[in-house]
Structure 1
């Protein structure tokens, strides 16, 4: 089986692609919307995506030089932007401004019809707090992913579910939304020059053997010599490449990975803090607690109490 640290990381940060809106239009049109609004959780959405199912459009947002041209199958990912404008359609006359629905609970197209020129779907990428730090640093302010066969097919399957009104469509839309997000990330990794960070290091073939060791036994006291040997590099070459690709030294990455595992364990299980500290390679509970507070900003017990309370509140509102 192929090692897949990317899937492991996506599970840990609980990445979810959620459709929230869409348009189907003929003639000149424009949409202007803010891109940050509160969810049912305590955090605001930092990542949005727009996918062109049919037709063409121009997308503009703050902090980016000039608009990008969206063609069929293209996807734009907005990272911590405050507004977006999308305009499309052909023909004479002024552009008709489309007012978006706020708080759409399920993905559905506005005025969908078989004869329209342009079809665009929009959504958000939800992350847990750990994912915010990881994925947001790995993506540019505006990522433009060009259409590939798998991505284009996924969009059409998703659109068919959205407009088909078939039994089980809500479940299918959620699954297709997840798979669409995966195809977007795959295409982005192939098409773009990734900045240093977790997404780049998790997809680096030369460093994969060392990552496999750290992920398989995060509590072990790994040395640079051993990790470099596994990656078939000298100690110096390995350390330099790892820092250049990940943005941090190998052992700093290992500590961050341990903290991700700790966050999940504290929220989802009743493991004692002392036992968790030993499992993750810390010599004492206090050493683990100090490291956790430096990374997360609060003690392990406070983190457990807060995240469980928030999860309970969210579930009660759903």
Structure 2
């Protein structure tokens, strides 16, 4: 990746898109089922961020470490963060019929009724992105179809199920595209409906008072930004800006900028044969050695070793 391309890659319309693209967030739909009557199923979770969605009907979710059952309805999506097991159940009258889904990546109708249609999967990212998401999300994120910014969730889930069971050419590609839109919609809705987001990057991106300063750092990461310049963009005093930024992001502004530069450097080193010297200059470092030292402090290995390790994967 050339310095020019590195700059262009950060010139985006909003910071959420910046971060999602940088940490390679994507949603993977791994299966689903349609079932009628009274039913229940239990499953273990190996992925750090598991999601469950109701394309049709209703269900009740119980998960380890989560207080009380969660009722989920058509168009609702739940993300479980670092949970180990969960049970889903549906129907209201009669003896529940237990079943287990043992085959991965399957979409099945368990009977002709199919009153409840459930989709499952996980949210993936590169290692940096996974760490950011796990740290920024609570144990359970429940986004209802009726929430602000979630108006199209119901349609997205219906289309995923239709593609998964319709046997049409290109279904896998279509499912992946709809799944990407689903995870974006869920994050948007979560940001807009959460009264008090946990300290971290999601809360930072949602903070309107800090948005202008964050945009400057994302758009021109190689500039040697001063604290007073960033504070002026946020129309705050230096002290107020620094205090608010630390409170919201959990880190000082210039430390956030340094971390953002290192994330850009990691992507550049993974994706191409960029030379270390030009990359260092493009990211605002006075010398290759200064950049290499900063990279090693942040990532734990030198840029060259990081690139070699990334190519072996």
Q: Does 1:160 align with 2:162?
A: yes
Superposed displacement of residue 102, structure 1: 4.0
2:203 corresponding residue in structure 1: 200
| Aligned counterparts, 1:186-225, within 5 A | 186-192=188-194, 193-225=196-228
Does the 8 Å CA contact 2:40/2:97 hold for their aligned counterparts? yes
- Distance in 1 separating the partners of 2:124 and 2:112: 31
| Aligned counterparts, 1:42-53, within 5 A | 45-53=47-55
Q: Does 1:120 align with 2:118?
A: yes
- Distance in 1 separating the partners of 2:177 and 2:125: 16
Q: Secondary structure at the match of 1:241?
A: helix
1:97 corresponding residue in structure 2: 98
Superposed displacement of residue 89, structure 1: 1.9
Does the 8 Å CA contact 1:55/1:117 hold for their aligned counterparts? yes
Between 1:188-197 and 1:95-104, the stretch displaced more is: 95-104
Superposed displacement of residue 113, structure 1: 6.4
Contiguous gaps of at least 5 residues in structure 1: 37-44, 311-318
Of residues 39, 50, 53 in structure 2, which corresponds to 1:29? Answer: 39
- Distance in 1 separating the partners of 2:269 and 2:104: 31
CA deviation string 1:23-54 (max 9, x = no partner):
11112211211111xxxxxxxx3111000111
- Distance in 1 separating the partners of 2:280 and 2:292: 8
Does the 8 Å CA contact 1:50/1:120 hold for their aligned counterparts? yes
| Aligned counterparts, 1:1-318, within 5 A | 3-36=13-46, 45-93=47-95, 95-104=96-105, 108-111=106-109, 115-148=113-146, 149-192=151-194, 193-310=196-313
Does the 8 Å CA contact 1:48/1:125 hold for their aligned counterparts? yes
- Distance in 2 separating the partners of 1:59 and 1:288: 48
Between 1:148-157 and 1:250-259, the stretch displaced more is: 148-157
Superposed displacement of residue 109, structure 1: 2.2
- Distance in 2 separating the partners of 1:199 and 1:113: 41
Q: Secondary structure at the match of 2:152?
A: helix
- Distance in 2 separating the partners of 1:289 and 1:98: 54
Q: Secondary structure at the match of 1:294?
A: helix
RMSD between aligned residues:
1.7
TM-score under structure 2 length normalisation? 0.90
Between 1:237-246 and 1:119-128, the stretch displaced more is: 237-246
Contiguous gaps of at least 5 residues in structure 2: 1-10
CA deviation string 1:70-111 (max 9, x = no partner):
111111101111111111123312x2222113432xxx4221
Does the 8 Å CA contact 1:112/1:163 hold for their aligned counterparts? no
Q: Secondary structure at the match of 1:27?
A: coil
Superposed displacement of residue 283, structure 1: 2.2
- Distance in 1 separating the partners of 2:278 and 2:111: 58
Superposed displacement of residue 120, structure 1: 0.6
Does the 8 Å CA contact 1:79/1:141 hold for their aligned counterparts? yes
Between 1:182-191 and 1:279-288, the stretch displaced more is: 279-288
Superposed displacement of residue 112, structure 1: 6.1
Does the 8 Å CA contact 2:75/2:154 hold for their aligned counterparts? yes
Superposed displacement of residue 114, structure 1: 6.6
Aligned length: 298
- Distance in 1 separating the partners of 2:45 and 2:234: 42
Superposed displacement of residue 163, structure 1: 2.0
Q: Secondary structure at the match of 1:110?
A: strand
CA deviation string 1:10-29 (max 9, x = no partner):
11111111100111111221
